[in-house]
Amino acid sequence: MNAQSNNPADVELEITNVAHGGVFVSRLDGRVIFVADAIPGERVRARITESSKKSFWRAETVEVLDASPHRQSHVWASSSVDVDPADRAGGAEFGHIELSHQRELKRQVLTDSLQRFAGVGSDVQVEAVPGDDERDGLAWRTRVSLHVDEEGFVGPYAARSHRVIRVGDLPLATDEVASAAPLDQQFRGAESVDVIAPSSTQSARIVVREPVKKGTSPANRREQTIIERVGDRDFFLDEGGFWQVHRSAAELLTSVVQSTIDEALFDPRAANLDLYGGVGLLAAAVGDKFGSTTRITSVESSARATDHAAENLSDWVGAQSITARVDAYLRGLVAQSSAAERARLAAGTVVLDPPRSGAGKEVVASLAELRPAQLVYVACDPVALSRDIGLFAAEGYQLTALRAFDLFPHTHHIESIALLTR
């Protein structure tokens, strides 16, 4: 297992544990080295790729000297350790690790983050999505964004770079996306090429994106509307709008959010909130569980997504969608709500699905001021989730339930759903 091991700058390293971000920890002369493409317990030869920081360096594995029993042939040959690090395709950084051990490593990252940033011990397990083990964790991506090189050919970026790598296959993509991906075609002048397979159709769409003209905003691009089906419900959204990437994610998150809500604390007449609501997936989950008269307000900064949410939530007489930044919206509630409105907010349930950076101090502080009865927090980053749980704990909210799912097999990402109550 060797990409190129005769470089005099290469070093031998013992890999001790996993770190957040899909890299692994070693030490060299007392300095922390974050190493890619390794597994804890291995001895590897690695190439130092970043040495400018005082606190840590980065390295790429070029040869495995003592392999972990959990190492496997990479599921994507384009990302294998046999390929020179500069030419490895990014996007499958755990593909060299047996699937069950990937989940164990993700569990360690999540539990370590909870302990470090929130002071919370947890025995949470990272659960497989039904059907993924039978597919060896492959064929789950319903959306792939391919970058375009100077000659117009498409591909993913190399790991930790903006260099386009030409590849012959996309093993994490669904069959519809993989077969439609124009990997051997040229798109001169294009910025990117997206391949999308909506669940409501049997074929994939190819969306060629041109560079944004100077003085214009990407938000002004004209987008076609697509339909995603979750159970027997349709959701309208722009073809470039946010939607869960895993083919089963939307249905799974709908079910888990519904089961996570503490029914004893839920009041359908309260001022319930769906923050960072997108096109209304999780607001609909709440409405479907508690009935058509459920009051819920979905807040989203994208006007196009909010327009779609209004249509997607039209079955619920008490549902509305608002275009606003979540932090600004909550500031307004704190500053302007009457006593009666404050009482309805305090009886409410808040579902929030923030971006990878998390909700953050200001949003947490505003929610703590409004004192909702419970918060259901959907997170795609364990460190951001843990930091926010720590912030909520300082405001009197405790973590009372937590589940985690491997919605991104062969990558380091996980999805977590937490319940916080006061």
Confirm if 254 and 411 have CB atoms less than 8 A apart: no
CA atoms within 13 A on the CB side of 103: 20
Provide the residue-wise pLDDT of the chain in tens; the chain has 422 residues.
555 455 667 999 999 999 999 999 999 998 999 999 999 999 999 999 999 888 899 999 999 999 999 999 999 999 999 999 999 999 999 999 999 999 999 999 999 999 999 999 999 999 999 999 999 999 999 999 999 999 999 999 998 899 999 999 999 999 999 999 999 999 999 999 999 999 999 899 999 999 877 665 655 567 899 999 999 999 999 999 999 999 999 999 999 999 999 999 999 999 999 999 999 999 999 999 999 889 999 999 999 999 999 999 999 999 999 999 999 999 999 999 999 999 999 999 999 999 999 999 999 999 999 999 999 999 999 999 999 999 999 999 999 999 999 999 999 999 999 999 99
For the range 329-338, what are the long-range contacts, defined as Cβ-Cβ under 8 Å and sequence gap of 24 or more? Answer: 329/275, 329/299, 330/275, 330/363, 330/366, 330/367, 330/370, 331/362, 331/366, 333/366, 333/370, 334/366, 334/369, 334/370, 337/370
Annotated catalytic residues are: 380
The answer to whether 102 and 406 are in contact (CB under 8 A) is yes
- Global pTM value: 0.95
Amino acid at 50: E
Q: Name the token pair of 284.
A: 């609909």
